[in-house]
């Protein structure tokens, strides 16, 4: 059940990242479509593993770092740390 909402969240974060780069409505829509159709997202979202959650976490971290670069507000590093902290590790 959890991979599907994580994949949907990744699509939303993709559109929000386009907004941070100054994209208009069409650019945000195209970024969300491109994010939804990247092969790892539908491939990882139909299997009950941590792939879609990891993709969501890294997309959110990217959004936070882009926001830091755009605004210069270093308080966002706390959000980045909160996103990195619970990241599941899958070491063999």
Mean pLDDT, residues 67-85 taken together: 90
Query: Which residues does 39 contact at the CB level (< 8 Å), separation at least 6?
Result: none
Domain membership of residue 46 (yes or no) is yes
With 70 as the cut, is the pLDDT of residue 87 above it?
no
With 80 as the cut, is the pLDDT of residue 88 above it?
no
Domain membership of residue 57 (yes or no) is yes
Domain membership of residue 92 (yes or no) is no
Q: Concatenated DSSP letters for 1-14?
A: --HHHHHHHHHHHH
**What pTM was estimated for this model as a whole?**
0.82
pLDDT digits (tens, 9 = 90+) for 10-29: 999 999 999 999 999 999 99
Mean pLDDT, residues 39-49 taken together: 81
Q: Hunting for tokens 């409505």 — which residue is that?
A: 25
Q: Within 13 Å of residue 23, how many CA atoms lie on the same side as its CB?
A: 16
Q: Which domain holds residue 51?
A: 3-84
User: Looking at the 3D structure of the chain, how many domains does it have?
Assistant: 1
Per-residue confidence band for 46, with pLDDT thresholds at 50, 70 and 90: confident
Among candidate residues 56, 49, 61, 47, the one with its CA nearest the CA of residue 7 = 56
């Amino acid at each position: 059940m959890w991979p599907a909402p994580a994949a949907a969240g990744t699509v939303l974060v993709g559109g929000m990242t386009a907004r941070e780069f100054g994209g208009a409505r069409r650019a945000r829509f195209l970024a969300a479509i491109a994010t939804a159709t990247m092969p790892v997202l539908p491939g990882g979202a139909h299997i009950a593993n941590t792939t879609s959650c990891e993709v969501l976490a890294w997309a959110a971290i990217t959004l936070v770092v882009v926001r830091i670069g755009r605004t210069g507000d270093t308080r966002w590093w706390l959000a980045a740390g909160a996103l990195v902290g619970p990241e599941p590790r899958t070491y063999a």
